[in-house]
Amino acid sequence: MANIISIATANPAYCHQQLDILAFMQNVYQLNEVDQRKLKFLYHQSGIHTRYSAIADYHGGEAARDFIPADINTDFPLLEKRMEFFDAHALNLSIAAIQKCIEPFLPINQITHLITISCTGMSAPGLDLQIMQALELPTTIFRTSINFMGCYAAVHGLKLAKMICDSTPNANVVIVATELCTLHFQKEFTEDNAASSLLFADGSAAVLVSNCIKASKSLSIQNFYAQVAFNGQEDMAWNLSSKGFLMKLSSYIPQLIEADIEALISKALAAGNHTKSDITHWCIHPGGKRILDLIQRKMQLTESDLQYARKVLYNYGNMSSPTVLFVLKEIMDAIDQPGAVILGMAFGPGLTMETFTLKNS
């Protein structure tokens, strides 16, 4: 049996108010009055209050900038510099999450498997080897990386952890999802860039999955269900460029999700032999306020059902892959009696929709 024993989260040092980020964006983009009003309206409707970044630049004025040039006519960092920045900051953030996650349950040297997840930084040797070296893990440890899957990648991490636990005795699997989305800020004012600069943030989440540790609030991983809507593959994409990673984030994404969400959830419930009434907690990736609103309306969910997703969106924004784990941590912390059944879901490039079902006993 694969059980989620613990989840821990970590964020970088700089906590930016959403309205401070708005002022920064209006300044960098050099917007006219009409576009400033449009952007201000979108920020006020975002459902986000604060976001974290490894970059100080997003508030405090031009004097605080050390990554994004104050002069709009100056070239922004190329991909090489952005990857150097990722290498300099992602490791410590990942270690902070891992140490908080496992400290109450096992020593570092009893980690048997390591899964790293990221879509905002890649190199070889990569984050997995950096973590191994920093934590002095055995050089023979099983390790693998899930790269460039976007916001649903943590679900794949849980799938792999379950496969490991189902086939390997005494497995203690650590998953760590770390994203520095804000280092890919682009200077051109386009619909995609504006949407990305409004939503995305930095963060890390670590999960301990085990088949041998006992814990009072553990969640057993029951099953998964996934579906790809290829008609949305041009509406959500994440591509490499010399200027950094470029996000394609169409305004049609909520409508695409709305068209498929009932069938997706129905099939996910059937895969786990559940009905909607069995679900006590909804762990929904807060890809944006509009997505949460339409899922709530389409599935006739209550405000209470979406409280954890909305709380994470409000306090952290969308951090890509760790975000659904931030929501799941809120739910784990809130569960105070046995019998909880959690249905989780996340969305990403493809358009890919992933679900998972968890149960506490």
**DSSP state for residue 251 in the 8-state scheme:** T
Which token pair is 156? 């794949």
Which token pair is 3? 């059980």
Residue 28 lies in a domain: no
Identify the residue whose tokens are 């984050």. 127
Residue 327 lies in a domain: yes
φ/ψ of residue 30, rounded to 5: 55, 55
Which token pair is 65? 């900038």
CB 327 within 8 Å of CB 204? no
* pLDDT of the residue at 252: 53
* pLDDT of the residue at 232: 60
Provide the domain limits for residue 346.
219-359
Could you give the CA distance from residue 248 to residue 297 in angstroms, rounded to a whole number? 26
* pLDDT of the residue at 306: 97
CA distances from 73 to 28, 78, 241, 261 (A): 10, 15, 20, 44
φ/ψ of residue 222, rounded to 5: -90, -60
Give the sign of the dihedral formed by CA 325, CA 330, CA 335, CA 341: negative
**Cβ neighbour number for residue 347 with a 10 Å cutoff:** 29
CB 97 within 8 Å of CB 8? yes
Could you give the CA distance from residue 146 to residue 157 in angstroms, rounded to a whole number? 7
Q: Which strands, in side-by-side order, build the sheet including 142-147?
A: 142-147, 113-118, 172-180, 202-210, 3-10, 219-228, 352-359, 341-348, 281-284
Residue 42 lies in a domain: no
Could you give the CA distance from residue 64 to residue 311 in angstroms, rounded to a whole number? 29
Q: Angle of helix 289-298 relative to helix 253-271, nearest 10 degrees? A: 50
Q: What is the CATH number of the domain that holds 286?
A: 3.40.47.10
* pLDDT of the residue at 222: 96
HSE-CB at 178 with a 13 A cutoff on CA atoms is: 30
Which token pair is 55? 């970059």
* pLDDT of the residue at 60: 62
Phi-psi group of 258: left, alpha or beta (phi > 0 → left; psi -120 to 50 → alpha; rest → beta): alpha
* pLDDT of the residue at 229: 77
Residue 350 lies in a domain: yes
Could you give the CA distance from residue 69 to residue 225 in angstroms, rounded to a whole number? 44
In total, how many domains does the chain have? 1
* pLDDT of the residue at 63: 60
CA distances from 75 to 8, 22, 31, 243 (A): 37, 21, 18, 9
CB 52 within 8 Å of CB 17? no
Q: Angle of helix 33-44 relative to helix 191-199, nearest 10 degrees? A: 40
Which portions of the chain are predicted below pLDDT 70? 60-64, 231-238, 248-252
Residue 282 lies in a domain: yes
Q: What is the pLDDT of residues 198-228, one digit of tens each?
A: 999 999 999 999 999 989 889 999 999 998 8
